Amino acid sequence: MKRVLSALFVLFFCLTLSMSSVSALEIPNVTDMAGVLSIDQEGELCESLFTLQDEYDMTILAVIDEGFYSYDVESSAEDWYAEYGHGYGNGSGTDGILFYISVNEREYCFYPHGFGNTAFNDDAIAYLKREVEPHLKDGNYYEAIKTYIRLADELIGMAKDGHPYKETDWGYVAIVIGCAVVLPFLIAYILMKMKLAKMNTAVANDYAANYEKPGSYHLDMAQDIFLYSRITKVKKATTNTSGSSGGSRSSRSGSF
């Protein structure tokens, strides 16, 4: 009898351990509470995200909500991640990213955490927003999340290799091109003008006195008479003090 009880206890313990291991891994990485994805689409996206999570040992989530989970889109993303972003990143969800979409409010937010802040820096978030926002505006949430998964793979891989994504600073590029191309032409133009100035020895004569016969012409009075005049009136600009300015939203969120 004791052997039977011991065997049952060991079997129960193994089943409990197995169930706890499975539940820890089965993170709700794609949650469609608005019902905008088909079963096949949701299954495909879940499988892609699970593969990505296992590859990088990071929590990578996507949530489509009807309204807000909390009082605005950013707090909704943060609260959702705090509640469900567990299982990767040393077992506590410290490393990850959440793509939160509110269908009714037509707003979205990317919420990085831990190493996610390195992989999904400001430049990377701006890149993500440019790529997914057209799909959101078209109401194609499947393509938006699919694009998010593809770019997450790219951005996390770059960060893991020690080269987080960085946008090209076109202002700096323009300065470099200007210094390398425009500046030599400007210097050459200045030097040419200086050389031409030395070659031009002719002196301009603005008066006809040298060409007059002495005593042939005498001017007693000179007067300038203007036949026409033009008056231009410009309205004085007024300062508008009405209205109010609000604070800028975080670069992690946007609307569609």
pLDDT tens readout for residues 205-250: 666 666 667 766 666 676 667 677 676 666 665 544 343 333 334 6
- Residues 34-51: tens digit of each pLDDT: 999 999 999 999 999 999
Roughly what angle, to the nearest 10 degrees, separates helices 122-137 and 141-160? 160
Do 69 and 104 share a structural domain? yes
Total tally of structural domains belonging to the chain: 2
pLDDT of the residue at 103: 94
Q: Decide which of 132, 160, 188 is a domain's last residue.
A: 160
In the block, which residue shows the tokens 């999340």? 145
Question: Which whole-number Å values give the CA distances from 166 to 84, 102, 124, 150, 163, in the listed order?
Answer: 30, 28, 7, 17, 8
Do 176 and 100 share a structural domain? no
Higher pLDDT, 155 or 180: 155
Q: Decide which of 113, 137, 160 is a domain's last residue.
A: 160
Report the range of poorest mean pLDDT among 25-29, 109-113, 185-189, 205-209: 25-29
pLDDT of the residue at 70: 82
131, 96, 129: which is closest to 114 by C-alpha? 96
Distance of alpha carbon 57 from alpha carbon 89, whole angstroms: 6
Do 95 and 182 share a structural domain? no
The gap between the terminal CA atoms of the chain, to the nearest Å, is 67
Do 183 and 119 share a structural domain? no
Do 175 and 81 share a structural domain? no
Do 188 and 112 share a structural domain? no
In-domain check, residue 7 = no
pLDDT of the residue at 93: 54
Its pTM surpasses 0.75: no
- What three-state secondary structure class fits 217? coil
Give the domain extent around 180: 170-197
Distance of alpha carbon 197 from alpha carbon 89, whole angstroms: 73
Is 97:111 a contact under the CB 8 Å cutoff?
A: yes
Do 154 and 30 share a structural domain? yes
Domain with residue 114: its CATH number is 3.10.310.50
Do 119 and 42 share a structural domain? yes
Do 35 and 127 share a structural domain? yes
pLDDT of the residue at 131: 95
Higher pLDDT, 197 or 35: 35
Do 151 and 175 share a structural domain? no
Is 155:123 a contact under the CB 8 Å cutoff?
A: no
In-domain check, residue 131 = yes
Do 184 and 67 share a structural domain? no
Is 253:106 a contact under the CB 8 Å cutoff?
A: no
pLDDT of the residue at 49: 92
